[in-house]
């Protein structure tokens, strides 16, 4: 099992550009999540999904969109990148007991 994988590992964007952060899991988990972590801060939930076709907003959804067309994949879309979106983005999936995190995507918006 690869667990939770994320691509890319690192990206620099210019203000106003768009991009999609990819996340995939091979553990057949129904629940998936996107978090962002700013320096010295805890993780904040952006969006989550309880299964294919179902998504919902978390604490900080503004500026992001998600889709969940399959159980395995949960991409996060940034439409108009802003400097405030500079952060580390973690994707996670969960079973009944544990959330498993991907290695993260470091995003810098200049």
Q: Which stretch binds another protein (CB under 8 A): 18-26, 28-36, 67-75, 78-86?
A: 28-36
Q: Is 86 helix (H, G, I), strand (E, B) or coil?
A: coil
**Cβ proximity to another protein, 13 vs 46, nearer residue:** 46
Number of amino acids touching another protein (CB under 8 A): 22
Question: Which of the residues 81 through 110 are near another protein (CB under 8 A)?
Answer: 90, 94-99, 101-104
Q: How far is CA 66 from CA 1, 98, 107, in A?
A: 24, 22, 17
Cβ 13 to another protein shortest distance, Å = 20
Q: Is 43 a binder of another protein (CB under 8 A)?
A: yes
Binding of another protein at residue 31 (CB under 8 A)?
yes
Min separation Cβ 97 and another protein, Å: 6
- State the nearest-atom distance from the C-beta of 80 to another protein, in Å: 27
SS3 85: helix
Listed in order, strand segments (DSSP E) in 26-109 are 31-37, 43-51, 54-57, 64-66, 76-78, 87-94, 99-101, 105-109
Residue 76 near residue 66, CB atoms below 8 Å: yes
């Amino acid at each position: 099992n690869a667990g939770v994988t994320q691509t890319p590992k690192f990206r620099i964007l210019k203000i106003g550009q768009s991009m999609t952060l990819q996340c995939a899991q091979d553990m057949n988990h129904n629940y998936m999540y996107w978090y962002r972590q700013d320096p010295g801060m805890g993780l904040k939930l952006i969006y989550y999904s309880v299964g294919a076709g179902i998504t919902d907003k978390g604490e900080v959804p503004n500026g992001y969109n998600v889709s969940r067309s399959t159980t395995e994949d949960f991409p996060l879309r940034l439409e108009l990148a802003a400097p405030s979106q500079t952060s580390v983005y973690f994707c996670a999936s969960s079973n009944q007991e544990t959330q498993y995190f991907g290695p993260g995507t470091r995003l810098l918006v200049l």
